[in-house]
Amino acid sequence: MVDTDSLRETLEIMKRKYSQDIGIVQKLQEDKKNKEEEIESLSKDKDTLDIQKILLQDASVEARKNAKDVLQTMATRALQFIMGDYMSLEIKLDEKGSAPVAEFIVKSKYSDYTVEADPADEEGGGIADIVSHACLIALLELTGENNVAPIFLDEPSKYVSKGNSENVARFFYEISSAINRQVIMSTHDEYLAKTGDKAFHFRINEGKTEITVLSA
């Protein structure tokens, strides 16, 4: 004899289990849909970010190239003004890993050959000084009209050969006038001291600083 009560109880249990399983399936389907929408959204974001990254990389490459051209031109003019027309600077841009790098090469062109060297190896460091000062001035100009800070220099001709000291003095005087930017420097170089619109001599006397006006 069939136990109908037991069957009904079993049927109710199965119905409840079925309803629970249906609820779980619906929840899983809803979660799946949400995840698919999230993946699609992330995929679109990724595409957008990839496009932005490419644009930024291109802009960065273009910005680096423009900056390189300005620095290269400024340094070359400084070298030729101070040392002679036979010298120039070349800046080579590259990437190591994901970081941009720049190599500075000084070229000395003679009648039938050209010598390439690291600026730091030339003229006992004097060439490196000229290049670094020229690049500093160019970078200041690249920052825009709002940057009106003066240029502060400490012994800018220290490693430049004595025969070119006068050219260094003339270079800073000319560039100061050209870009309308004040140059303030400390120096032991008489040519540089005489070039300034205002010059002061500082001397330590018995522990005290004495200041003498040389020109004003």
Mean pLDDT of 106-126: 84
**What b/e readout covers 77-108, taking b as 16+ CB neighbours within 10 angstroms?**
bbbebbbeeebbbebeeeeeeeeeeeebebeb
> Tokens in use for 135?
């690049």
- Express as a percent the part of the chain with pLDDT over 90: 6
Higher pLDDT, 182 or 163: 182
Model confidence pLDDT, tens digit, residues 27-75 = 777 877 777 777 766 666 566 666 666 666 666 777 778 888 888 899 8
pLDDT band at 114 (very low <50, low <70, confident <90, very high): very high
Q: Are 130 and 79 in contact (CB under 8 A)?
A: yes
Fold that domain 148-216 belongs to in CATH: Rossmann fold (3.40.50)
Q: What residues contact residue 174 under an 8 Å CB cut-off, 6+ apart?
A: 81
Mean pLDDT (the chain) is 80
Would you mind telling me the total number of residues written for the chain in this entry? 216
